Amino acid sequence: MRNALVIVDVQNDFCEGGNLPVTGGLAVAAQVARHVRQSRSEYDLVVATRDYHENPGDHFAPQPDFVESWPRHCVVGTPGAALCTPISNLVDEDLIQSVVDKGRSTAAYSGFEALDPEGCPLLDVLRDARIESVDVCGLATDYCVRATVLDARKNGFEVRVLTDLCAAVNEESGRRALQEMKAAGCQLTTDSAR
């Protein structure tokens, strides 16, 4: 079975020091990069998604509720929108073959809303590579990882969630999201247990 790794939104703004930091984000960036280097022979394709906002309406709010509205983050052209250095190094070394962007003018939690530089949606990128199963990791467990994983299941992919290569905005909603992914037929596993 052809297998892809989808790395969700491992960007500076979602890490410690960024505009919408997720606790453990920097550690996830380093561990995901190590995983890609160690497991490169297992993947036929490695894709990274980016949250990439210009004017996403009420996704940004001056007084965000951190559920449906957020501080400004991942604004196109700012350092916060860039992939974390350990991840951008993988792009430079061609260990990540595709970067897909979402959310220019709307909220977009799922990587399946993202397009590659040629305007090709993630689903087509995966289908063109004849991918049947995906491993998913990144930020944040309870938002963009959750949405990406559930859409991957809806589109018929087998899904493994690498839970130790994810971090949540909120611990409790992170736990709930993992249960939801499991109920949707995903395998929850750790990088070390695979």
Residues near ligand VGL (CB under 6 A): 9, 14, 51, 70, 139-140, 143-144
- Name the residue nearer to ligand VGL (CB basis): 38 or 105: 105
| Catalytic site includes residue 186 | no
**For this structure, is 166 an active site residue?**
no
**Residue where the block lists tokens 């957020």:** 70
Residue placing its CB nearer to ligand VGL in the complex, 13 or 135: 13
CA distances from 64 to 7, 103, 120 (A): 26, 17, 32
Instruction: Round to whole Å and give the CA distance between 154 and 159.
Output: 11
Among residues 74, 137, 144, 166, the one annotated as catalytic is 144
Q: CB of 13 within 8 A of CB of 80?
A: yes
Q: Which is nearer to ligand VGL, 146 or 160 (CB)?
A: 146
Q: How far is the CB of 9 from ligand VGL (least distance, A)?
A: 4
Q: How far is the CB of 51 from ligand VGL (least distance, A)?
A: 5
Tokens at 25, concatenated? 């984000």
Smallest gap from residue 160 Cβ to ligand VGL (A): 19
Catalytic residue (choose from 51, 74, 84, 102) = 102
- Residue whose C-alpha is closest to residue 96's, from 30, 44, 26, 165: 44
Report, in Å, the least distance between residue 132 CB and ligand VGL.
25
Strand partners, 162: 189
Cα–Cα distance, 66 to 71 (Å, whole number): 8
Q: Is 182 a catalytic residue?
A: no
- Catalytic annotation, residues: 9, 102, 144
